[in-house]
Amino acid sequence: MSRTFFEDVVVERIQDTPAITVTEAHVAMYHGVTREAALAPGAVPDILPLCLSVGLGWRTKEPPMVVLAFVGLEWQIVRELHVGDTVHIRSRISSKRPMRDGGLVVEDRALVDQRGEVVQQGKFTFLVAKRPKEAVS
């Protein structure tokens, strides 16, 4: 399996994920896990789109980054999402900073609906591994 190390990360790279249509089953599973009271019919809890964003973020055409740690999250709810809406992630690597054995990578993510409108957005910060040094014989 191919992987993306810190050295391979390209700042300003933009990627789109496949789309997913939010269903009543997604909402029911969320309520089953959280025990949060259900909202109006067709309403999607505000945190569920963030959960979808995390999952969809791994479904890109590029090999996944070798993430050592999830370091930070800034997230903003822009508008409501409803059952039946179809969403995908548009991500952009906004910065990277080297460290000893890896580096920090900041990825801007927007959860975009079928109308092209941003539903939620924010920044994910990851600690990404550097490529292992070859063993010298």
Q: Is the pLDDT of residue 135 over 50?
A: no
pLDDT higher than 90, residue 37: no
Q: Which residues contact 72 (CB under 8 A, 6 or more apart)?
A: 123, 124, 125
Q: Give the three-class secondary structure for 25.
A: helix
Query: Does residue 1 carry a pLDDT above 70?
Result: no
Give mean pLDDT, residues 33-50.
85
Q: pLDDT band for position 136 (50/70/90)?
A: very low
Q: What is the mean pLDDT of residues 28-55?
A: 86
Domain ranges of the chain: 6-129
Residue 31 banded pLDDT, cuts 50, 70, 90: confident
Got the DSSP string for 72-95? EEEEEE-S--BTT-EEEEEEEEEE
Class of domain 6-129: alpha beta
